[in-house]
Homo-oligomer: A and B are copies of this chain.
Amino acid sequence: MIVVLKANPDPEQLDNLTTWLTSQFITIHSSLGINNLVLGLVGDTSVLDIDLIKSLDIVEDVKRIREPYKNANRKFHPDDLIVDVGGARIGGGHFMICAGPCSIETEEQMNAVACGVRDGGATLLRGGAFKPRTSPYSFQGLGGNGIELLIKAKKAAGLPVVTEIMEISQLQYFDDVDMIQVGARNMQNFQLLKELGYVDKPVLLKRGLANTIEELLMSAEYIMAGGNENVVLCERGIRTFETATRNTLDISAIPVLKKKTHLPVMVDPSHASGIADMVKPLALAATVAGADGLMIEVHNDPPRALCDGAQSLTPEKFADVARAVLAVRPYAMTAEELSQ
């Protein structure tokens, strides 16, 4: 960490600062610029509060050099993490295709979609039971009953399942769920993240609409700090000024993440675009750029889906996307290339 002091800092305050830093086991290297004294702090600076130091009267600016995350940092974990989700694997060369409907509606629908996506190439089944909707007047999901239907579909199709949690108290319904999804709007629901640090199930952590890649890694760090190291990250589009697509898929996040972390990285082309026709080009792009997996919305009757119909594929179209994705996989960037 670099601390740039204002010109002519008060000696007593400077002494207070250096004494405090030393008490935090930080070594200080100082160099004198033309106008400013610059302190180089060496040691475990992840424990220092950058805003606190910035607020001191004698400090002009503070710049961080080390990443503030440790458990999620590839520097300390050079080997790819492989996450096992009820038998399906992701990371370290294992590619995962997760598919299913936005909302769980009926047993027939779920079973039909589950078998459809399994036959089309999916290795993990998704389905929403607790639904975060912008409007209180939109369909809010079937809740615990929805998870029951998802578990039935899991058995019917022989696929492991992932579904979203919105609140700690819902954990009681997740016993037979193989992977817990934290949605974009909850990426910084820190209480929920902490709780999931104590759970013995892999977590799929989606990037928030306005969260940086570093913040995504810090949220993974929240989970991992509790002991649960099986975190899979998911890029699903960020909010920008462009309105032609619902969000802007940040394709660069894939190589950036693969370099910074050993955690597997998925991409959700359905939510990123909000348009069914764009799922295939974005899925192909994410795959060759080095993603470890994809999450795709599939519905057996998209025009009648209760939510997000605009971005859902039929099982037939999904199978076409999955085929195309698997065909380009041999040409995709590897984690080894991206993490050099």
Chain A residues with a Cβ under 8 A of chain B: 2, 4, 29, 31-34, 36, 38, 40, 42-43, 46-47, 49, 51-52, 54-57, 61, 63, 65, 68-69, 130, 132-140, 166-169, 185-186, 188-192, 194, 208-210, 212-215, 218, 221-222, 225, 238-245, 248-256, 259, 272-274, 276-278, 280-282, 284-290, 302-312, 324, 327-328, 331-333, 337-338, 340
8 shortest A-B CB distances, which residue pairs? A210-B210, A29-B31, A55-B309, A285-B285, A55-B310, A284-B288, A167-B191, A281-B289
Number of copies: 4
A71 to chain B minimum Cβ distance, whole angstroms, is: 9
List the B side residues contacting A2 at CB < 8 Å: 2, 38, 63, 65
Are A248 and B248 closer than 8 Å at their CB atoms?
A: yes
Q: Quick one: closest B residue to A280, CB to CB?
A: B333
Are A189 and B185 closer than 8 Å at their CB atoms?
A: yes
List the B side residues contacting A185 at CB < 8 Å: 188-190
Are B288 and A281 closer than 8 Å at their CB atoms?
A: yes
Are A51 and B309 closer than 8 Å at their CB atoms?
A: yes
Are B248 and A238 closer than 8 Å at their CB atoms?
A: yes
